[in-house]
Every structure is written in C-alpha cells, then in structure tokens.
Amino acid sequence: MAEHRVGADHAFSEAQRDGLYRAIHERRDVRAQFLPDPVPTEVLARLLDAAHHAPSVGFMQPWDFLVIDSLAVRERVHRLFLRENAKAAEHYAGDRGETYRRLKLEGILESPLNLCITCDRTRGGEHVLGRNSIVETDLFSTCLAVQNLWLAARAEGIGVGWVSILDQEELAEVLGLPEQVYPLAYLCLGYVSEFLEQPELARSGWRQRLPLAELVHGNGWGEPLADEALQEALAGERS
C-alpha cells in the first residue's frame, strides 16, 4: 500500500503547485514592456475577484477598486509622478543619480488601464475584531488584495506595475476620494511584450535579491535554526 502523506488530501496537484510557484517567482513590477492591447472585461473581472478574496483582519474587507481608463485622469496622475520623481532624483548624486534618471519607473500612459486600490480606514466600524492592538491591519489587509491581484494577473499574462512615487494627498484629490479613504496602491495593468527574467532593478544593478538563508532566524533574532537541513535547503533556494 502506498504511504499516505500527511495533508495530501488537501494539497494541490503537482501541476497546480508548479503554476502557483511560477506565478510567485515570475511576477514582475512592469514599467516599460506594456502593449496597447486592452484587457478583456472577463479577465479584469477575474483579477478584481481574486483581489476581493484576499484575507482581511476581522473580515473588514477595507478595499475598493477604482478602474481608470480615462486618459485625462491618467495624464493628471502622470503629472503628479513627474513632479515627485524629480524630487526623488535629488536624493542621488553621481553615478547613482545618473542610474536613477535612466530608470523607467512607471507606465501610467503606456498601459491601457490604471487601477487604484484604496483602503477605507473606517470600514467595519469603530471596533474591528483583531484590530485593537494594531490599527494598521486595514492597510496590511489591503496589501494582501494587491498581492492577490498581482499573482492572478501574472497567471493571466497581464503585467502590473505599482507606481509609488506619488503624493498620496494629491492623488486622493485627483480621484475624488472621501477623507477616510487612503489610495494605497496605484497600479498600471496590461499585456506586455515580455516578463523579464530578473526584476528590473536587479537587472539595472540598482539592488539585488538578498540571500534567503541570511534572513531566517531560529527562536530569536540572530539565532541559528535548530533544523540544519532547513538551513541547507534555504541556502539552495533560487536567488
């Protein structure tokens, strides 16, 4: 009789697992590879549904989704980016500054669709189960919705780019957000010419992925793992 592996009844098939891990490892922050082809309605609906099925503390579901296909709105957001990007460039001098100015850091106008995922900081009322000690859990929960959408998009062949170089108060004004709603993630979506083998910042030499084995501790900060086999396995993981 074949040995029954603990938990096997609930595990995905090998092909399904491979697909999930492929989406995780091949997900990229896309900036320069967008194609003009529109995202089909049924695909966008699946992505939004995946985002909406993210976990949230107290099941508060603090997210809303602003689908932005208006060129006029995107042009206003792009102007915000240009101003903030010029400010950010002032932090880097010499070769680092030149490298920064060569980086493509958004695809607001090139992508066929922009999406802003917001966090309603009052969703769920004054007392949300599990939020008493850490009030930022609404923001953390919304980040999980972003990740759900990002992985689903990669599985659909859709590129996603997160534009973080924006003044959030000005962005909220452009989008007409209520006072309690925070624009957590401004995303560019669309089909792409390619998904890069490496993250763009790694490829450009800006920063490299840290070794996983150096980031895992055992029982306390800086303590070695008791499981030496795990440590060896982590050291062998992809960079």
In this predicted structure, the answer to whether residue 150 has a pLDDT above a threshold of 60 is yes
- What tens digit of pLDDT does each residue of 83-112 get? 999 999 999 999 999 999 999 999 999 999
Helices (H), the chain: 14-26, 41-52, 71-89, 94-102, 137-155, 168-175, 200-203, 228-235
Asked if residue 203 lies in contact with residue 196, where contact means CB atoms within 8 angstroms, the answer is yes
- What tens digit of pLDDT does each residue of 158-195 get? 999 999 999 999 999 999 999 999 999 999 999 999 99
Report d(CA 150, CA 24) in Å as an integer.
Answer: 9
What backbone torsions phi and psi does residue 40 show, to the nearest 5 degrees? -60, 145
Counting residues of the chain whose pLDDT is more than 90, the rounded percentage is 94
- Residue 237 has a pLDDT of 78
Q: What are the chain's domains?
A: 25-208 (3.40.109.10), 209-239 (no CATH)
What backbone torsions phi and psi does residue 183 show, to the nearest 5 degrees? -80, 90
- What tens digit of pLDDT does each residue of 4-44 get? 577 678 999 999 999 999 999 999 999 999 999 999 999 99
- Burial label for 73, CB within 10 Å (0-12, 13-18, 19+), is middle
In this predicted structure, the answer to whether residue 198 has a pLDDT above a threshold of 80 is yes
Counting residues of the chain whose pLDDT is more than 70, the rounded percentage is 96
Q: State pTM to two decimals.
A: 0.94
**Residue 122: Cβ within 10 Å count:** 14
In this predicted structure, the answer to whether residue 1 has a pLDDT above a threshold of 50 is no
